[in-house]
Amino acid sequence: MFYEIKSKKSRMFVDGIRQVSLVCSTHPAMNFFLWIDEQQTLTHLQFIFDEKIIEWFVDKEQIRTSQTNRRFPSTSTKLGVHKGVRTIHGVEDDSILIEGAEIIKQALLPGSYETLIKSKLT
């Protein structure tokens, strides 16, 4: 079950866009980030699970898969990269999309966001 993190910042529009954060109550490292315009149109969607990422972009009408640097065992702390810093690295891996789609199909999402998310990522 996902719930929305409501804050002063999540209600603010910057350049006509606001960010919505949804967190899973049983898996806190599983998150949705949605960027929505003033007409409630989805402009960007990011789903993070197990340091894997699925993104949808309105301007490209495509889905991209990525992993964070925390998935790569060779990641080390070095000058300019602090311990704990998460960076995103694009990968072409259909298994990320398949695994993520299965999670999303079964996810209990807040009603106002369920159709937005499932129509783009499943």
Contact between 33 and 19 (Cβ < 8 Å): yes
The mean per-residue pLDDT over the stretch 6-16 comes to: 91
- 70 contacts 87 by C-beta, under 8 angstroms: no
Residue pair 71/51 in contact (Cβ under 8 Å)? The answer is yes
pTM as predicted: 0.83
The predicted-structure confidence for 48-106, as pLDDT tens digits, reads as follows 999 999 999 888 778 999 988 766 655 455 655 555 567 788 888 899 999 999 999 99
pLDDT over 90 percentage in the chain: 58
With tokens 């806190």, the residue in question is 28
Least confident window among 10-19, 29-38, 84-93: 84-93
The per-residue pLDDT of the chain, averaged, comes to 87
Query: Which sequence spans correspond to the domains of the chain?
Result: 2-121
